[in-house]
Amino acid sequence: MKESRRWWGKYSLGGSRIWLCGREHSASAACTTWFLGGVSVTGGGIHGWDVPEIREAVFRRSKQRAEFVRADAMERARRIANLLKVRYSASAVTLYGSLAETCFHDRSDIDILVEGFIGRYWEMYVMADEIAGPFDLSIVCIEDAQDTLIEYARERGICL
């Protein structure tokens, strides 16, 4: 009679978390099945893995997640810009930093430069931070910004 063991493990590969599910039988030729990001790999150990296929599946899933997270952050930035313009009479709202460029990742923050802000800063910041949700938020009033930040935001930022 064959013994069977089942186990689960969570590992990190290339910044993405993947779940591994395996079953190993105590026969002379042990067979382990791995399920990685929708790809199943069967082999007698590490040498039986189809590593390029696994890597491609993990990176494809990681890229899809990054696109989803970036789209979510952009939508939240637009909602914050709307709050600043409608409720606090901001004349211009500029998104700058990694979200405005191509280097955004899931731990990036939302960086905003605001002109013509009228009102209480901390009250506004609390409301904007609620909209930002899981993303860290940085709102800088142009009156308090250094010249280099203003120049950077105007050259490389996105007007919202």
More confident residue, 114 or 36: 114
- Across 42-46, 58-62, 135-139, the highest mean pLDDT is recorded for 135-139
- What is the pTM assigned to this prediction? 0.65
Does the pLDDT at position 130 exceed 60? yes
Task: Judge contact between 84 and 160, C-beta under 8 A.
Answer: no
Query: In 3D, which of 145, 46, 32, 143 has the Cα closest to residue 97?
Result: 145
Domain boundaries, given as residue ranges, for the chain: 4-49, 69-159
Out of 3.30.460.10, 3.40.50.300, 3.40.50.620, 3.30.1490.100, the CATH code matching 69-159 is 3.30.460.10
pLDDT at residue 155, rounded to an integer = 94
Does the pLDDT at position 116 exceed 60? yes
Task: Judge contact between 42 and 33, C-beta under 8 A.
Answer: yes
More confident residue, 44 or 144: 144
More confident residue, 112 or 43: 112
pLDDT at residue 49, rounded to an integer = 57
Q: For residue range 12-27, list pLDDT tens digits in order.
A: 444 444 444 444 333 3
Pairing of strands 137-141, 110-115: parallel
pLDDT at residue 16, rounded to an integer = 43
DSSP assignment of the chain, as one string?
A: ---EEEEEEEEEETTEEEEEEEEEE-SSS--EEEEETTEEEEESSGGG--HHHHHHHHHHHHHHHHHHHHHHHHHHHHHHHHHHHHTT--SEEEEESTTTSS---TT--EEEEEES--S-HHHHHHHHHHHHTTS-EEEEEGGGS-HHHHHHHHHH-EE-
Does the pLDDT at position 7 exceed 60? no
Q: For residue range 61-114, list pLDDT tens digits in order.
A: 878 888 888 999 999 999 999 999 999 999 999 999 999 987 887 678 999 999
